Amino acid sequence: MSKKIAIHWFRQDLRLADNPALYQVSQADETITIFILDKNQDIGSASKLWLHHSLNSLNSSLDNKLNFYSGNPLEIIKKIIKENNIYRLLLE
């Protein structure tokens, strides 16, 4: 029997505590945690700074297991699903 691998896609909600989607993927045999920076989304400099620090903190909390991507989210998700035989994708 193959392992059940799930993706948790962090988008706006970067918290670990009280995160229903993160709880759902914890039921999988393995979880891939990702953040995708959509190059088509404009964000201000203050937001970029906040995002940078928040993602660093989140990655540290996840023992450096947060996977960072930049580009078209749909294309990136399709590629990850195909390469890893994902059975579940959750996001908030």
What residue ranges define each of the domains in the chain, with the CATH number in brackets?
5-91 (3.40.50.620)
The pLDDT score that the predictor gives to residue 6 is 95
**Overall pTM surpassing 0.75 (yes/no):** yes
Mean pLDDT of 1-5: 85
Mean pLDDT of 11-33: 89
pLDDT at 14 over 80: yes
The DSSP code for 4 is -
The pLDDT score that the predictor gives to residue 26 is 85
pLDDT at 62 over 90: yes
The rounded distance, in Å, linking the Cα atoms of 80 and 71 is 13
Structure tokens at 18: 């009280």
CB atoms closer than 10 angstroms to residue 63: 7
